[in-house]
Amino acid sequence: MISNTETPADTINDRILLPLTFDVEKMKKEALAFKLNDFNYYKVMPLRGPAHIIDPTLPTPPPADDYADGSWTDWLDSPELKASPYLTSVVDSFREHTKVTLVRLIGLQGGNVVPVHTDPTLGLQITESVIRLTIPVISDDQVTFFLNNKPVPMKPGECWYMRLTDPHEVVNSSNEDRVNLTIDMIPNEWVRSMIMEHDHA
């Protein structure tokens, strides 16, 4: 169940490195098996998503007044996630504690940019919504994630909370494609406590 406790946006940092690390080589091996390098500019590989999209034989849920908290649909792991034991274990490390909704591998081709934008519901300060954690899988020092015009020093295997309701962009100046794992989840007390305890403002 989602906590109704509001966390004011200006009480915590806009980026927080969480005390979680994951095996880069295992994630990279499984991500590369999906051939994410076979694309132009930007590619999303759903690993967990709305049940009716993962399994088209299931009925489409009725329209909802609010889609932000993920309660409008059931969620299923994709066949790709089920075939990836280590990535499954990464997702499991969160769903042992809270509800995980959308999980994706997101590729950004070398030499490309994700323009400045905001995600209006992806912030801990937004009630009745999910948050997104980001785990870089394939990246190097020529890939820069800017949040509020300041770089976030993310390294492969690390896990970051970022206030994505704020302006952000990605610049991949590398010749290599960047791949991130993103995990959306309900910010229950376990999630909130972890974020707040590691907010070194």
- Shortest CA distance to 178 belongs to which of 122, 112, 133? 112
pLDDT of residue 2: 37
Contacts 24+ apart (CB under 8 A), 145-154: 145/169, 145/170, 146/116, 146/170, 146/171, 147/14, 147/15, 148/14, 152/15
pLDDT at 106: 95
Q: How far is CA 67 from CA 10, 106, 121, 173, 191, in A?
A: 25, 21, 10, 34, 20
- State the pLDDT confidence band at 40, using cuts at 50, 70 and 90: low
The pLDDT of residue 10: 54
Give the pLDDT score at 200. 75
Number of Cβ within 10 Å of residue 68's Cβ equals 16
- pLDDT of residue 43 exceeding 60: yes
Q: Check residue 167 and give its pLDDT.
A: 98
pLDDT at res. 105: 96
Average pLDDT over every residue of 154-181: 97
pLDDT tens figures, 80-105: 999 999 999 999 999 999 999 999 99
Cβ distance 168 to 118 under 8 Å? Answer: yes
Instruction: Write the class of the CATH domain 13-52+69-197.
Output: mainly beta
The pLDDT tens digits of the residues spanning 51-74 come to 999 999 999 999 998 999 999 999
The ranges assigned to domains in the chain are 13-52+69-197
Q: Say what the pLDDT of residue 137 is.
A: 98
pLDDT, mean of residues 13-28: 97
Average pLDDT, integer, range 120-135: 95
**Span 117-128, mean pLDDT?**
94
- Report which residue type is found at 66: D
Residue 145 vs residue 11, higher pLDDT? 145
pLDDT of residue 1 exceeding 60: no
pLDDT of residue 123: 94
Give me the chain's average pLDDT, please.
92
**Which pLDDT value is given to residue 3?**
40
pTM: 0.92
